């Protein structure tokens, strides 16, 4: 249920993180560096709460809806997303790139341009609903879901324009707060609909809240900005020049969509809807981390880097710091998720989605690379390399769809269980993600003066360390299996009823806690001893109080000061 930026030798003893930097390289201006760190922190903090809400929603809905319901929604979202891929005509990002000075002049005409595009997209989705659902995917229950999505697309136009103004004003705290309200309403409504009507309306429980929160987003954005671009006139003469400038942004949006929902377009035609739903369920669990670390950093950096695009030294320094922090955080988060999800699944769903555990683990191995997409995108947009952004993202997105298709086509001929079908698709997609993200990120960073060798040595160590820790912990867990050891001590009389539920919860909760702590301690020790510079750069971008606490927890010699 989802809507991206070679270490030198370790920091010398007794020196501060700033002293450890190459003094010949000017550091980013304090105001923008602080804005980047604080803005990203607010965006991530808000998204953490939003994703917790999302997980709670998925926990409840996972008990009510079936894998087939998730498959229907995933396929419908892919179809609607593909048709509406050019929605907004790319004007949101275009407004950010033009800067706050041009917003009053451009916002009116661009609102009407975006509304025209979105209305056309909504109409096309409505027209395509019946033939796509009946003749292509043989899922008639998709029809009402697609019609709801058709109405949602044009209604999202005001929030797109007003959201760009919030980003232009660097009001990331407000963006975080209104985003949290929006997702809370969406997921609460999803739960209510699933509990009351889940058996009768199925996938519509996931679609209707999108429509409601789209309207809510517009109301909140209008209240925060006190702006009404729809009152400024249509400005038809601006449309053509804007489309000329945004054509690559729109093309990039097509490809960006492929990296998230693209596989569902082809999986629905090759595999049973239950296999599609199982893959989508696992992907959504893993994608929470991608949204948390990738999308939020892109929103902050694309606005901030645009202001220092003419200073290559500051740009290079900011990109390297962000890349280190992003890969470290992404690797740590994916390590924790992949290692503990089997216990979490037992704790939350009691085996109902047990087949998704291996799929989540497979995706977690590769997903730190998906997180790097936000950084490479922010760099390209900030330097106005729209064509390169579009073509590279198209290369990645098309490959992602083809990898999913090849994996699905191969496993479909094996008459394998549904879980194996979804796992094969996950491994195929993840393998392509690793290869394409590594190649593209090296190429993009080279455009801002970062050599491929230095970029590779900035990305790889944290990821490799996380894989090693995960392998060690999971291997040890396979030998000792704490949950089964605890359950073996429990008398049969305490394995049923309320006592059985409590015992089950304690056993798997303790198991998850022990595995999570083992991963955290081992990963933290290795970071502290082997990747101290990466650790310091990551801690340095945190807001003040959290930065101090993290520095003390990691036993850094001194709390890192705010980024210079």
What are 93-139's pLDDT values in tens digits?
788 878 888 888 888 889 999 899 899 989 999 999 999 999 888 89
Q: Angle formed by the axes of helices 452-480 and 497-530, to 10°?
A: 140
Enter the tokens of residue 124.
Answer: 């096309």
Instruction: Give, as one character, the DSSP assignment of residue 101.
Output: G
36 contacts 301 by C-beta, under 8 angstroms? yes
Average pLDDT of the segment spanning 132-158: 92
Residues in Cβ contact with 427 at an 8 Å cutoff, skipping those fewer than 6 apart = 362, 407
Instruction: Tell me whether residue 272 is exposed, middle or buried, using C-beta atoms within 10 angstroms of its C-beta: 0 to 12, 13 to 18, 19 or more.
Output: middle
- What pLDDT, on the 0 to 100 scale, is given for residue 50? 65
pLDDT at 28 over 70: no
- Give the pLDDT of residue 366: 93
- Position 359 pLDDT exceeds 90: yes
Which segment of 41-55, 146-160, 254-268 scores lowest on mean pLDDT?
41-55
- pLDDT at position 297 is 63
DSSP 100: G
Q: How confident is the model over 444-465, as a mean pLDDT?
A: 92
272 has a pLDDT exceeding 70: yes
Looking at the chain, the whole-number percentage of residues with pLDDT higher than 90 is: 31
Q: Identify the residue with better confidence: 494 or 432.
A: 432
- Best CA proximity match to 285, nearest among 55, 515, 52, 43: 55
pLDDT value of residue 8: 31
pLDDT, the chain, mean: 81
pLDDT value at 146 more than 50? yes
Separation between Cα atoms, residue 403 and residue 387, nearest integer Å = 24
CB atoms within 10 A of CB 521: 12
Higher pLDDT, 83 or 478: 478
Say whether pLDDT at 155 is over 50.
yes
Q: Cβ of 236: how many Cβ atoms within 10 Å? A: 10
**Residue 22 has what pLDDT?**
37
Angstrom distance (rounded) from CA 370 to CA 452 = 18
pLDDT at 557: 62
> When comparing pLDDT for 362 and 546, which is higher?
362
Q: What is the pLDDT of residue 533?
A: 79
- Top-confidence residue, 166 or 50: 166
CA-to-CA distance for 25 and 450, rounded, in angstroms?
13
Is pLDDT at 541 greater than 70 in this prediction?
no
pLDDT at 375: 85
Rg (CA), the chain: 24
Mean pLDDT of 283-311: 70
The more confidently predicted of residues 173 and 209 is 209
**Least confident stretch, 258-267, 307-316, 539-548:** 539-548
Is pLDDT above 60 for 36? no
Instruction: Give residue 487's pLDDT.
Output: 66
Q: In this structure, are residues 350 and 344 in contact, taking their beta carbons and an 8 Å threshold?
A: no
Query: Residue 517 CB: number of other CB atoms within 10 A?
Result: 11
From residue 354, give the alpha-carbon distance in Å to each of 44, 67, 509.
29, 12, 16
Q: From the CB of residue 154, how many other CB atoms can be counted at a distance below 10 Å?
A: 21
């Amino acid at each position: 249920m989802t809507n991206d930026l070679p270490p030198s030798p370790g920091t010398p003893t007794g020196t501060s993180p700033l002293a450890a930097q190459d003094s010949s390289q000017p550091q980013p201006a304090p105001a923008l560096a602080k804005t980047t760190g604080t803005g990203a922190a607010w965006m991530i903090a808000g998204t953490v709460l939003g994703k917790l809400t999302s997980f709670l929603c998925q926990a409840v809905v996972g008990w009510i809806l079936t894998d087939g319901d998730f498959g229907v929604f995933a396929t419908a979202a892919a179809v609607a997303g593909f048709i509406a891929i050019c929605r907004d005509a790319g004007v949101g990002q275009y407004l950010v790139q033009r800067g706050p000075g041009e917003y009053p002049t451009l916002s009116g005409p661009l609102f009407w341009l975006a509304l025209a595009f979105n209305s056309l997209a909504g109409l096309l989705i409505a027209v395509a609903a019946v033939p796509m659902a009946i003749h292509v995917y043989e899922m008639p229950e998709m029809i009402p879901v697609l019609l709801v999505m058709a109405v949602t697309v044009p209604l999202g136009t005001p929030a797109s324009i007003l959201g760009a103004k919030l980003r232009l004003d660097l009001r990331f705290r407000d963006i975080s707060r209104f985003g949290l309200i929006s997702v809370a309403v969406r997921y609460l409504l999803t739960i209510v609909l699933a509990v009351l009507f889940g058996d009768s309306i199925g996938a519509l429980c996931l679609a209707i809240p999108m429509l409601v929160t789209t309207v809510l987003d517009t109301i909140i954005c209008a209240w925060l900005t006190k702006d009404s671009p729809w009152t400024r006139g249509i400005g038809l003469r601006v449309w053509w020049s804007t489309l000329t400038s945004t054509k690559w942004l729109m093309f990039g949006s097509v490809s960006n969509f492929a990296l998230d929902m693209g596989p569902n377009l082809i999986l629905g035609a090759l595999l049973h809807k239950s296999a599609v739903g199982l893959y989508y369920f696992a992907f959504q669990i893993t994608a929470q981390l991608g949204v948390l670390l990738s999308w939020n950093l892109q929103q902050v950096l694309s606005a901030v880097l645009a202001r220092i695009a003419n200073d290559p030294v500051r740009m290079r320094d900011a990109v390297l710091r962000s890349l280190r922090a992003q890969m470290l955080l992404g690797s740590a988060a994916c390590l924790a998720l992949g290692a503990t999800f089997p216990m979490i699944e037992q704790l939350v769903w009691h085996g109902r989605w047990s087949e998704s555990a291996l799929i989540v683990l497979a995706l977690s191995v590769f997903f730190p690379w998906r997180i790097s997409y936000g950084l490479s995108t922010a760099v390209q947009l900030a330097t106005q390399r729209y064509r390169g952004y579009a073509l590279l993202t198209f290369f990645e997105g098309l490959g992602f769809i083809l990898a999913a298709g090849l994996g699905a086509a191969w496993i479909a001929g094996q008459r394998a269980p549904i879980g194996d079908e979804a796992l094969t698709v996950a491994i195929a997609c993840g393998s392509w993600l690793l290869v394409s993200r590594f190649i593209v990120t090296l190429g993009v960073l080279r455009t801002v003066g970062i050599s491929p060798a230095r970029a590779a040595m900035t990305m790889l160590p944290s990821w490799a360390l996380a894989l090693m820790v995960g392998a060690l912990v999971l291997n040890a867990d396979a030998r000792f299996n704490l949950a089964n050891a605890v359950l073996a001590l429990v008398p049969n009389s305490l394995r049923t009823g309320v006592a059985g539920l409590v015992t089950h919860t304690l056993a798997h909760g303790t198991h998850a806690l022990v595995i999570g702590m083992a991963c955290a301690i081992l990963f933290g020790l290795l970071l502290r001893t082997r990747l101290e510079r990466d650790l310091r750069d990551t801690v340095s971008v945190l807001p003040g109080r959290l930065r101090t606490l993290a520095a003390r927890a990691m036993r850094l010699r001194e709390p890192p000061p705010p980024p210079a």
